[in-house]
């Protein structure tokens, strides 16, 4: 059931205009795919802060609080070192900054693999402390019983197959998956198992296009591609990659801006204004001007 509410603008400059808001729901996302076809593709981006969530929210159906924050925000070399506390802190911020999108939080490495019970404890804490609608878990057929366990206990799950960054040490790198027949069959089997276990959506990352197309045709839930195929039922990108915040990005990323260059240019202009002593005083900026005459 959707919930309609009104934003409270009394204490936050981030929400200047009160308006009724209806957040999308997990069943609404799942229902996008009818008879194997998704006429309205699912739009998804990562978000890690309240302000970014606020900017992305009107344009997205889902916001993913990805463990990619370890690399994007904290400069870690892999997502393996991301902690549950970090995910919860950023997840809560994104929920506070969004009012339309379904917010999904990654479960970090080592917090769900041991048993369905461990996964339930972790996921329940994430939903309770963040207010998010769902969690995302990396892994294939081996995790199907865990996904089934969570879904039957009221925790919506997004699956993730193909290139799974939390398993980078086992995979040996971030190269595209599914090039061999055996690997393609394994990934397709993983996708079927995860979908059959009850995942309401499925991220398909870093696989060759024929495999992504086969998965999309095979599963009933929407597939969300990242470095997969435009024929997936939706797409997701790391927002910083999409905005052009980094010089190096995966080959499949399409930049929609060069924000890093514009930030650097703005900082240079600011620095020069300070050095030239042409930076206006606060009073000159904000105090009302005296009446003429």
Q: Is 205 a catalytic residue?
A: yes
* Length of the chain, in residues: 293
Encode burial over 102-127: b for 16+ CB neighbours within 10 A, e otherwise. bbbbbbbbebbbeebeebbebbeebb
Residue 283 to residues 57, 111, 170, 215, 277, Cα–Cα distance (Å): 35, 51, 59, 61, 15
Residue among 129, 138, 205, 247 flagged as catalytic:
205
Determine if residue 24 is left, alpha or beta; phi over 0 gives left, psi from -120 to 50 gives alpha, anything else beta. Answer: beta
Report CA dihedral (238, 177, 195, 98) to the nearest 10 degrees.
0
Helix (H), strand (E), coil (C) string for 83-95:
CHHHHHHHHHHHH
C-alpha span between 214 and 232 (Å, rounded): 10
| Closest among 250, 228, 231 to 241, alpha carbons compared | 250
| Closest among 191, 204, 203 to 143, alpha carbons compared | 191
CA 201: distance to chain centroid?
13
If DSSP codes are grouped into helix, strand and coil, which group holds residue 159? strand
Alpha helices in the chain (DSSP H): 26-30, 50-56, 69-72, 84-97, 116-130, 144-151, 168-171, 181-197, 209-218, 239-242, 259-275, 282-286
Provide the annotated active-site residues.
Answer: 205
């Amino acid at each position: 059931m959707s919930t309609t509410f009104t934003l409270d603008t009394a204490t936050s400059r981030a929400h200047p205009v009160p308006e009724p808001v209806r957040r999308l729901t997990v069943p609404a996302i799942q229902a996008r795919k009818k008879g194997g076809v998704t006429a309205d593709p699912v739009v998804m981006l990562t978000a890690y802060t309240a302000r970014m969530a606020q900017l992305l929210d009107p344009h997205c159906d889902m916001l993913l609080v990805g463990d990619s924050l370890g690399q994007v925000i904290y400069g870690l070399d892999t997502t393996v070192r991301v902690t549950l506390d970090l995910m919860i802190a950023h997840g809560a911020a994104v929920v506070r900054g969004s009012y339309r999108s379904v917010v999904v939080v990654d479960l970090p490495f080592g917090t769900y693999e041991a048993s369905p019970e461990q996964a339930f404890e972790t996921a329940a804490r994430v939903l309770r402390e963040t207010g998010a609608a769902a969690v995302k878990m990396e892994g294939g057929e081996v995790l199907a019983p865990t996904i089934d366990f969570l879904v039957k206990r009221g925790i919506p799950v997004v699956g993730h197959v193909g290139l799974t960054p939390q398993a980078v040490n086992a995979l040996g790198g971030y190269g595209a998956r599914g090039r061999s027949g055996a690997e393609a069959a394994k990934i397709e089997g993983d996708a079927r198992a995860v979908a059959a276990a009850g995942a309401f959506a499925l991220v398909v990352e870093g696989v060759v296009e024929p495999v992504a197309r086969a998965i999309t045709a095979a599963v009933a839930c929407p597939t969300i591609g990242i470095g997969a195929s435009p024929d997936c039922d939706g797409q997701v990108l790391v927002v910083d990659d999409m905005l052009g915040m980094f010089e190096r990005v995966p080959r499949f990323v399409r930049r929609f801006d060069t924000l890093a260059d514009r930030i650097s240019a703005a900082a240079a202009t600011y620095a020069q204004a300070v050095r030239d002593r042409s930076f206006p005083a606060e009073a000159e900026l904000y105090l009302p001007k005296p009446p003429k005459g």
